[in-house]
Chain A
Amino acid sequence: MDVSSRSLQIDRQKVVLISILAVIVAAMSFLSPKFLQISNFQNILLQLAPLIIIASAANLLMITGNFDLSIGSVLAFCAILHAFLTKQGVPIGLSIALCCVMAALWGISNGIMVGILNVNPVIATMGTMYAARGFAYLIARWDGGANISAGLPGNFSDFGRTNLFGVLPIILVFMVIAVGVFTFIERKTVLGRYGFAIGGNRRASVLSGINVAGVLIVLYALVGLLAGFCGVIQVSRVGSGFPNIGEGMEFDVVVAIVLGGTSMLGGSGSTVGMILGALIVGTAANGLNLLNVPYFYQTITKGLLLIVSVFADQTIRRRG
């Protein structure tokens, strides 16, 4: 497939996604008078921000044909580590930096397993998923309980709840930065081009001299880093450290990415598509909450949205 036909196909995918999003927004606006408000869209973005930040990097990883099941666990590990360190008197800034380093190390370890040792990414990252989650519980246990909330410093929540210029939550700023950086990486850098090449044909990429292992290690490290960073922000927003935070987040990330048109086999996808995928899921969930729809219907809706969106996309592709 040449570049022009691929970009045409991606544009068509985006049209499908935007149409689905428009239908959801229109329906929810009709059903709930509280939906079509700026404060609600800020609320939706606030809830989606950690997912979009992590998925920005995870999307590029999936474009290479790989994925990371340890996202939620690394997030939890760093969340609880941040609470633990600050409780022990480590300054907030230093604790955030240490947590980010630890998160990147989890990612690098995934990258080494997948890129150098050729361990299947499902197995490698599943191992990390269990190990990181186990360490998260262990850290809470070192503190003497199921979570860390007593004894946290008074400024613990400041970082996650900061509003830039008094109105813009800091996590939304980080989301915009992450999206901007990864859109740039995807479109304008060697790393982005190598990602598509590896996803398109890994063997050919190796033969053409691309350092596949290096690319994968960098991408896994970035995914880990962002997962850890989001863990720190989330725990700061909540105001206490829970080791079960982020459970199932890896699947939410995969849903957003796949819904956004990124192939699980690699070789195609875009950050913008991923954002649209996340918005579809997040907007539907928000609208259903506003309408007091019970949780189990929401889960069914999420599944149906995924199936219908992917089916519509594939049908249009076949006809296109």
Chain B
Amino acid sequence: MKKLTSLLLIACLAAMALSAQPIKTNYTVGHVVYTLQHQYHQAVAKEIVDYGKKMYGAKVIVLDGKADSGEILKAVETLIAQKVKAISVHSPDQAMTLAAIKMARAKGIPVVTTLVWPAEKIAPHVQPMETSSSFLMGQRAAQAWLAANPGKPSRVAILDFGKFPPVEVLRTTPFWEGVKAVDPNAVLVTQLNGQGDTTKSMEITLDILQAHPEVNIIFGANDEMALGALAACEQVGRGKMDNGKPLTEVIAGLDGNASAMIKIFDPNCSFKLTHGAVRDVARAEMDTMIGMINGKIDPNKWFEIQVLSKVTDYWHNTVDEAQVFLQENFLYKGNLKDDIAKAKKK
């Protein structure tokens, strides 16, 4: 029943979007970003603003949550004070998000959440389908490793956000299960907090490689952490592939930004997989806000609007596909082939 409801809602939103006839309104809505420090969140915010203006003539006020629950709540309060028509919130703090929904609702302002669901499921929610994509990435990483190194079972290290439950559900656990599905002898040797940060992840991975040199699959729960892991591997003489054939390890990330794609499509680099969704998440958030304002979506009921989180990897995708993905999702204006060539050693 839930799936049917979600599918109907997706169909409804798709129909709204695909009607391709911009609906002109003069609504002002708010979008609270988790942190504008990350490429992913910047790109989502930009797409919401552009799409909202183009599709609905809506003005979007974007406020930075600065990766801090207090700041995110303050941002919601600010938007309530500005009497916006609807708010989209991206926060990892489930209890705070619930409080924000109730606070806005008390003033008659509907809220849609994204990625991390609130403590009580009482409002529409845009959910990138990360679980299945993370599982698929785990499978592909293990397949690639085992095909090149049949005698060496998978030894996995994961960099996460401190075992934060939604990240466990959406990213780290399904990735690990994907590896296990391919390689029953796989061992998860360590899972440490990379804090979502490249430099910290580099330092932690140096420690991991010291303690567990046998590690051959590394998953960073965002691209920043995967890039940090790659930097550490390269510094100890690893991070290598031979034309896509794993020599030292396979690294996977998440988000699918340009920094990751440049590494993924370098045939001699061990960072090889990522997944992400920006454009569709942003559009679903905007469509849901407009749907709630216009009374087409009940703002007081849980709806999960599912969005595909597209897997991109070296073995199953082309550089041209990655170029299109980056242009559609990360406002990428460069030429990926040129950037890959430039990043290679001269």
The docked-state distance in angstroms from the alpha carbon of A234 to that of B202 is 10
The chain A residue with its CB closest to the CB of B195 is A295
Residues A234 and B199 in contact, CB atoms below 8 Å apart? yes
Residues A242 and B224 in contact, CB atoms below 8 Å apart? yes
Residues B342 and A154 in contact, CB atoms below 8 Å apart? yes
Q: Does B258 contact A (CB under 8 A)?
A: yes
Residues B38 and A146 in contact, CB atoms below 8 Å apart? yes
Q: Does A127 contact B (CB under 8 A)?
A: no
Q: How many A residues are at the interface, by size bracket?
A: 35 or more
Residues B334 and A237 in contact, CB atoms below 8 Å apart? no
Residues A289 and B345 in contact, CB atoms below 8 Å apart? no
Q: Which residues of B contact A286 (CB under 8 A)?
A: 207, 210
Residues A34 and B210 in contact, CB atoms below 8 Å apart? yes
The docked-state distance in angstroms from the alpha carbon of A289 to that of B157 is 12
Residues B231 and A147 in contact, CB atoms below 8 Å apart? no
Q: Which residues of B contact A139 (CB under 8 A)?
A: none
A146-B39, A161-B235 as given contacts; A244 in contact with B197, CB under 8 Å: yes
Q: Which residues of A contact B342 (CB under 8 A)?
A: 151-154
Residues A296 and B334 in contact, CB atoms below 8 Å apart? no
Name the one of B39, B202, B334, B345 contacting A155, with C-beta atoms under 8 angstroms: B345
Residues B190 and A292 in contact, CB atoms below 8 Å apart? yes
Q: Which residues of A contact B191 (CB under 8 A)?
A: 292
Q: Does A66 contact B (CB under 8 A)?
A: no
The docked-state distance in angstroms from the alpha carbon of A240 to that of B227 is 9
Residues A154 and B344 in contact, CB atoms below 8 Å apart? yes
Within A169-222, the residues touching B (CB, 8 Å) are 169
Q: Does B333 contact A (CB under 8 A)?
A: yes
Residues A243 and B37 in contact, CB atoms below 8 Å apart? yes
A47-B206, A154-B342, A237-B235 as given contacts; A242 in contact with B163, CB under 8 Å: no
Residues B345 and A154 in contact, CB atoms below 8 Å apart? yes
The chain A residue with its CB closest to the CB of B202 is A238
Q: Does B288 contact A (CB under 8 A)?
A: no
Q: Does A245 contact B (CB under 8 A)?
A: yes
Residues B193 and A154 in contact, CB atoms below 8 Å apart? no
Within A293-313, the residues touching B (CB, 8 Å) are 294-296
Residues A239 and B231 in contact, CB atoms below 8 Å apart? yes
Q: Which residues of B contact A239 (CB under 8 A)?
A: 227, 230-231, 234
Within B23-77, the residues touching A (CB, 8 Å) are 36-39, 41-42
Among B203, B230, B334: residue with most chain A CB under 10 A = B203
Residues B37 and A146 in contact, CB atoms below 8 Å apart? yes
Q: How many B residues are at the interface, by size bracket?
A: 35 or more
Name the one of B192, B203, B334 contacting A150, with C-beta atoms under 8 angstroms: B334
Name the one of A39, A157, A240 contacting B198, with C-beta atoms under 8 angstroms: A240
The docked-state distance in angstroms from the alpha carbon of A150 to that of B224 is 13
Q: Does A40 contact B (CB under 8 A)?
A: yes
Q: Which residues of A contact B198 (CB under 8 A)?
A: 238, 240, 242, 245
The docked-state distance in angstroms from the alpha carbon of A295 to that of B193 is 6
Q: Does B208 contact A (CB under 8 A)?
A: yes
The chain A residue with its CB closest to the CB of B206 is A43
B258 CB → nearest A CB, Å: 4
Residues B211 and A154 in contact, CB atoms below 8 Å apart? no
Residues A149 and B258 in contact, CB atoms below 8 Å apart? yes
The docked-state distance in angstroms from the alpha carbon of A47 to that of B204 is 9
Contact with B along A130-160 (1 / 0, CB 8 A): 0000000100000011110111111111000
Name the one of B36, B41, B42, B199 contacting A245, with C-beta atoms under 8 angstroms: B199
The chain A residue with its CB closest to the CB of B37 is A244
Residues B42 and A146 in contact, CB atoms below 8 Å apart? yes
Q: Which residues of B contact A147 (CB under 8 A)?
A: 39, 259
Name the one of B41, B199, B343 contacting A154, with C-beta atoms under 8 angstroms: B343
Q: Does B108 contact A (CB under 8 A)?
A: no
Name the one of A32, A238, A292 contacting B227, with C-beta atoms under 8 angstroms: A238
Q: Does B228 contact A (CB under 8 A)?
A: yes
Q: Does B162 contact A (CB under 8 A)?
A: yes
The docked-state distance in angstroms from the alpha carbon of A154 to that of B230 is 16
The chain B residue with its CB closest to the CB of A158 is B345
The docked-state distance in angstroms from the alpha carbon of A244 to that of B231 is 17
Q: Which residues of A contact B193 (CB under 8 A)?
A: 294-295
Q: Does A85 contact B (CB under 8 A)?
A: no
A239-B231, A295-B193 as given contacts; A151 in contact with B344, CB under 8 Å: no
- In the A-B complex, list the 10 residue pairs whose CB atoms are closest, starting with the nearest: A149-B259, A295-B193, A289-B207, A146-B39, A290-B211, A150-B258, A154-B346, A150-B339, A34-B211, A47-B203
